[in-house]
Chains A and B, each alone.
Chain A
């Protein structure tokens, strides 16, 4: 065993952004959504992620704008805390410790200082019973506050955040669970309960799915499992309540939302159609069809200009109120399983796997961003449960990335298997793949494996597919036979079989001169040039599971794993078994850039990783218990820049990175300590003094406090001094050249100003003199600053992006300028 001291397994990107309803800010410029353990702030116009609000230690379960301050946002998490953030700058303001896992959060402008959270029943945390609790937030200056004043409002509520809603003017709160709708009136401190029968006469299910309350009138809309929407009125009487029913959806309504003015009601569900109902004119509906996949949440911006829908394929769509899609924020799409292997597109170096039904997704690992989806099936997707759809089951890239092959299949119950093999050519002009050849029914049975000839210098590329029908076929690009056809297309070149056995795996050697095809327990080696069977290798008694050629200096080795827990290495020069060892390898893969091979071994409920060279008996690296469960998908992806690690155990990570998918579809990777340190170093700048938002006002006054406390961290200091000097820089730039000191004199000062200064007594004195002035100016400057405040500010970029000058600062500068060049001392 080689120690694995500094190599760690970490999550790498691709977290869910559709788990909870997202929030659009007051000015409709940002969209906030819960994503794993952080809250992501996206720009609604550019779709780019502006900040990550990090701090929670467990999944974030809710995001909510603070009703009294539209520039701050609450987030709640299963770690039992509610945090308050300034999202424009990405600053953490406060943490309220609740002490119980929080599943959703609600607040109303009419209940100041109170938030409502859903927690498990206080007495037993394990149970599936939840209650709605009002939390009185203590007014305290501390950053970490324990919220002790908890009072239960409703017991037995749903943990689904969509099932609770505040009514008009915060007068009541409505909660639906199962077949009951409960409305709690705060004034009367009384709740009414309305129940529905389980089934109606036509067999529809009446279970409540979601609740939305009209903000101007007393009306509650509820969505039901059978696709009906009920509008409840007059519910402040136990008996005389009425409801009307709207029905368009054919399956459960998963989300409902009223627009802020209450003129429209939005609903969505599995059909992936956003339906806009006119309030009081329900026969008039607007539809936005084909949103891609089932709608899970709908949110409306406070001014009603934007809607946003979260979808089950990890996507958020931003829709203008004219029912037009304006932006799409797409995360990594994760299904229940990845049918295609993980692949790396040789051109974009992006991870390729199947995402949305019938599509391939190209996901940039470096930027943690979905580049694009490629529609493989090119058929209208019907959103209906229980339908057999075409699925992309195999995909392969050739060495240069100019060709891609995909296999899609549809397995009907009675009828035959429908198979399509498609070959896609990369189009330089559109920078995407274009369908070149579509081969329907390439094989008679399911395709088990497919690979391209990986030789980089070969003129013609070749594709080999193996199938359960007992044949493997070689496909080759051939010129058009007739004058009519435009370009070359792919056709079958060779059909091979071996004693009627079923081929399972195929693999080309690195130079493309050999093709190995495994037929159950026999490995056959063919020459693709002449289609001659060169040799057979076999290691009975069990079938070959995985097959892999060595690379570079180890290209004479062919490695295979068998179902009988054997890892074999054949030497192709002597056609003999070089070595073999007993391990249950669930996945074997070769690094395309080095000789290294990685083997994931399944042992006792966990997976171990071994990295080795075929020519060396000892593994380079091994890692016990990488994760629980079997690892069946992994990929070596090339690094953008090489790491220079001299430590032996981590050298294998120098040129490429190993990513793998766990049983629960988490994308994990291995990082070295050096890499982590670098990441940390780059993110440290982000850490600003958390207590107060970094406003220009703060920049003037903050230093006084700093002087008092004397506990300034280097990071906060740097964030203070840099804007200060930036004012000086501005001054420097505005001053006419002929009154300036010589450049050589300024230069050294300028450079020094960029360094972190330790103390600056002179500056502090100046401030002390001016304290009164600046305080007097306070009101004016506040007013002035207000419009400039919501501007996104990259705290990470430090100096150059410093906030606008306040009047006080300007005055100071003016005064400073009078004293000859002494302002330039501000650099020091």
Chain B
């Protein structure tokens, strides 16, 4: 004697995001911490040394935050105008920043007043960086020039005037003390060698370049400008490797994960995308509230810091292992020790007769009703608000089961205004869903058959019937359009793949061969 077999709920393939290792990794961050700054945050830079403080450049200030602080541990406020590009030196002791007033300032991280002021640019300086020998800095300005400065005596070493538009990004090599790269609004990237007076390599990005990033190996260069992110192979003379177009607004910032396996790009379209650096496919996506201007990852991906145009700094810290465990522990409420241990201790003695307890089959509410052949009640339980909204597949499965039993009509009939309205509501929500349509269309037909006589008695039901009608008309139009598109596509495919038919002549030749043989063999058969 078999037990009751519960209604089978069809499992539909999940739409939307697939769960991969990447999504698991990048979702493992806590809720973001929001800090209001004084203006749009243009640059974020992590200190390379241990506490990994980060400098946030926003409006006329540069704030330095500790890894877990919500208040700045330090702030530099001696700017006359908007500050740009506050960057740490590789030992984390010095910080350089450009400014709208064309003066480049060098700070001691522990001090307050600028140690050095580099004057020479004629327009706002948006790019500053330390050269890897730690005693020179690189600056790029809106006066189309980029310059090298000597730190100890604050003198200008060299000026490069090759760009023809604002220089808005630049990066110095961390390995070679002579190389640095700048990107400009004239769509070009230029690689300069400090030993010669001019650029040694020029690459055309095609859009105003907003951000540059060098791989740790410094063989590959990533540039962002316009909606594109492009990867260049420096070792092959600046050959473009890939061009990525995954944002729909200008990409403003680039960043590499600590392992170098993932590339992150932030854009004005409020998204941060994570790419796999082996195949350059987007593996994850973060959404933010406003357009993003700057993005930085802490070493070991401990936190993601994003600066936005609405002057909000968003910091997400990675969940530690204990955190995640703690949370899951909180979710599951364990019974008390006494309850937990109950019935576990007694050990059956040798002469004891063990009475096995029958395993009780757990059935869902609607199954319990179906088991008793209470069809109306079964449908009612399946139409409960939570099920109806969250798990429409359960409602549909119960309807299908009722239909299979030939009792769907009985279950649908005899409902009052409220119940009927609920049913119609569900139909309106789901009847055009291709997964549910086959079942719901029969149900809808039955409802119309049953309740034809009461149309016009209830304004609520009438309104819903009209809505259903509209919905169906719209759906029919939609399907017609789709069919037209299919037809067009078919003709296009047919015309674009004429070669697909090529095997056919071959086949027909073989066919002819077989046919010929067939003809020759047929008389033989007749002879036999």
Q: Are A574 and B517 CB-contacts (below 8 A) given A535-B507, A579-B528?
A: yes
Contact A483 B507 (CB under 8 A): no
Q: How long is the Cα–Cα vector from A482 to B17 in the complex, in angstroms? A: 11
Contact B507 A536 (CB under 8 A): yes
Closest 8 CB pairs of A and B: A576-B517, A325-B1, A380-B5, A577-B521, A575-B514, A535-B510, A536-B511, A382-B405
Contact A290 B521 (CB under 8 A): no
> Which residues 414-428 of A have a CB within 8 angstroms of B?
414-416
Of chain A, the residue at the smallest CB distance from B439 is A415
| Cβ proximity bits B55-66 to A, threshold 8 Å, 1 near / 0 not | 000000000000
B20 within 8 A of A: yes
A384 within 8 A of B: yes
Q: Pick the contact of A290 from B3, B6, B404 — CB < 8 Å?
A: B3
Q: Are A576 and B19 CB-contacts (below 8 A) given A290-B1, A387-B406, A440-B10?
A: no
Residues of B within 8 Å of A414, CB to CB, are 442
Q: How large is the interface on B (under 10, 10 to 19, 20 to 34, 35 or more residues)?
A: 35 or more
Nearest Cβ in chain A — how far from B435, in angstroms? Answer: 10
Of chain B, the residue at the smallest CB distance from A441 is B438
Q: Besides the contacts A291-B1, A384-B405, what 19 more A-B pairs have beta carbons closer than 8 Å? A: A290-B4, A317-B1, A380-B4, A386-B406, A387-B404, A387-B405, A389-B404, A410-B404, A482-B18, A483-B19, A483-B21, A534-B510, A535-B507, A535-B510, A538-B511, A538-B518, A575-B517, A576-B520, A577-B522
Contact B503 A415 (CB under 8 A): no
Using a Cβ–Cβ cut-off of 8 Å, how many residues does chain A contribute to the interface with B? 44
Residues of B within 8 Å of A384, CB to CB, are 405-406
A619 within 8 A of B: no
Q: How long is the Cα–Cα vector from A580 to B370 in the complex, in angstroms? A: 58
Of chain A, the residue at the smallest CB distance from B19 is A484
Residues of A within 8 Å of B503, CB to CB, are 532-533
> Which residues 251-291 of B have a CB within 8 angstroms of A?
none
> Which residues 394-444 of A have a CB within 8 angstroms of B?
410, 414-416, 440
| Cβ proximity bits B2-23 to A, threshold 8 Å, 1 near / 0 not | 1111111010000000111100
| Cβ proximity bits B471-515 to A, threshold 8 Å, 1 near / 0 not | 000000000000000000000000000000001000100110111
Q: How long is the Cα–Cα vector from A484 to B14 in the complex, in angstroms? A: 12
Q: How long is the Cα–Cα vector from A484 to B7 in the complex, in angstroms? A: 24
Of chain A, the residue at the smallest CB distance from B518 is A577
Residues of B within 8 A of A (CB): 1-8, 10, 18-21, 24, 370, 401, 404-406, 438, 442, 503, 507, 510-511, 513-515, 517-518, 520-522, 525, 528
Residues of B within 8 Å of A288, CB to CB, are 1
Of chain A, the residue at the smallest CB distance from B520 is A576
Q: How long is the Cα–Cα vector from A416 to B439 in the complex, in angstroms? A: 10
Contact A576 B514 (CB under 8 A): yes
Q: How long is the Cα–Cα vector from A382 to B517 in the complex, in angstroms? A: 57
Q: How long is the Cα–Cα vector from A399 to B26 in the complex, in angstroms? A: 46
Q: How long is the Cα–Cα vector from A288 to B3 in the complex, in angstroms? A: 11
* Selected A-B contacts with CB under 8 Å, 14 pairs: A290-B1, A292-B1, A292-B2, A387-B404, A415-B442, A416-B438, A440-B10, A482-B19, A483-B21, A484-B19, A535-B514, A536-B511, A536-B514, A580-B525
Of chain A, the residue at the smallest CB distance from B24 is A483
Q: How long is the Cα–Cα vector from A289 to B373 in the complex, in angstroms? A: 13
Contact A577 B517 (CB under 8 A): yes
Residues of B within 8 Å of A576, CB to CB, are 514, 517-518, 520-521
Residues of A within 8 Å of B513, CB to CB, are 575
Residues of B within 8 Å of A291, CB to CB, are 1
Of B18, B514, B522, most A-chain CB atoms within 10 Å:
B514
A822 within 8 A of B: no
Residues of B within 8 Å of A537, CB to CB, are 514
Contact A379 B507 (CB under 8 A): no
Residues of B within 8 Å of A575, CB to CB, are 510, 513-514, 517
Q: How long is the Cα–Cα vector from A379 to B2 in the complex, in angstroms? A: 11
Residues of B within 8 Å of A483, CB to CB, are 19-21, 24
Contact B518 A539 (CB under 8 A): yes
Nearest Cβ in chain B — how far from A499, in angstroms? Answer: 9
> Which residues 754-799 of A have a CB within 8 angstroms of B?
none
Contact B525 A579 (CB under 8 A): yes
Q: How long is the Cα–Cα vector from A577 to B522 in the complex, in angstroms? A: 8
Nearest Cβ in chain A — how far from B8, in angstroms? Answer: 6
Q: How long is the Cα–Cα vector from A387 to B401 in the complex, in angstroms? A: 12
Of chain B, the residue at the smallest CB distance from A325 is B1
Residues of A within 8 Å of B511, CB to CB, are 535-536, 538
Residues of B within 8 Å of A280, CB to CB, are none
Nearest Cβ in chain A — how far from B516, in angstroms? Answer: 9
Residues of A within 8 Å of B406, CB to CB, are 382, 384, 386-387
Of chain B, the residue at the smallest CB distance from A291 is B1
Nearest Cβ in chain B — how far from A556, in angstroms? Answer: 15
Residues of A within 8 Å of B18, CB to CB, are 481-482
Of chain B, the residue at the smallest CB distance from A575 is B514
A200 within 8 A of B: no
Residues of B within 8 Å of A244, CB to CB, are none
Contact A415 B438 (CB under 8 A): yes
Of A291, A387, A575, most B-chain CB atoms within 10 Å:
A575
Residues of A within 8 Å of B442, CB to CB, are 414-415
Q: How long is the Cα–Cα vector from A389 to B514 in the complex, in angstroms? A: 46
Nearest Cβ in chain A — how far from B33, in angstroms? Answer: 30
Q: How long is the Cα–Cα vector from A575 to B511 in the complex, in angstroms? A: 9
Contact B405 A290 (CB under 8 A): no
Q: How long is the Cα–Cα vector from A502 to B18 in the complex, in angstroms? A: 38
Contact A378 B518 (CB under 8 A): no
Nearest Cβ in chain A — how far from B198, in angstroms? Answer: 51
Nearest Cβ in chain A — how far from B466, in angstroms? Answer: 26
Nearest Cβ in chain A — how far from B266, in angstroms? Answer: 27
Of chain A, the residue at the smallest CB distance from B370 is A380
Nearest Cβ in chain B — how far from A21, in angstroms? Answer: 20
Residues of B within 8 Å of A388, CB to CB, are 404
Residues of A within 8 Å of B521, CB to CB, are 576-578
Residues of A within 8 Å of B10, CB to CB, are 440
Q: How long is the Cα–Cα vector from A524 to B22 in the complex, in angstroms? A: 46
Of chain B, the residue at the smallest CB distance from A482 is B18
Nearest Cβ in chain B — how far from A809, in angstroms? Answer: 40
Q: How long is the Cα–Cα vector from A228 to B309 in the complex, in angstroms? A: 82
Of chain B, the residue at the smallest CB distance from A274 is B1
Q: How long is the Cα–Cα vector from A534 to B517 in the complex, in angstroms? A: 16
Q: How long is the Cα–Cα vector from A639 to B528 in the complex, in angstroms? A: 37
Residues of B within 8 Å of A390, CB to CB, are 404
Contact A482 B4 (CB under 8 A): no
Of chain A, the residue at the smallest CB distance from B441 is A415
Nearest Cβ in chain A — how far from B434, in angstroms? Answer: 11
Contact A538 B405 (CB under 8 A): no
Contact B5 A378 (CB under 8 A): yes
Q: How long is the Cα–Cα vector from A440 to B8 in the complex, in angstroms? A: 13
Residues of A within 8 Å of B517, CB to CB, are 574-577
Nearest Cβ in chain A — how far from B528, in angstroms? Answer: 7
Residues of B within 8 Å of A416, CB to CB, are 438
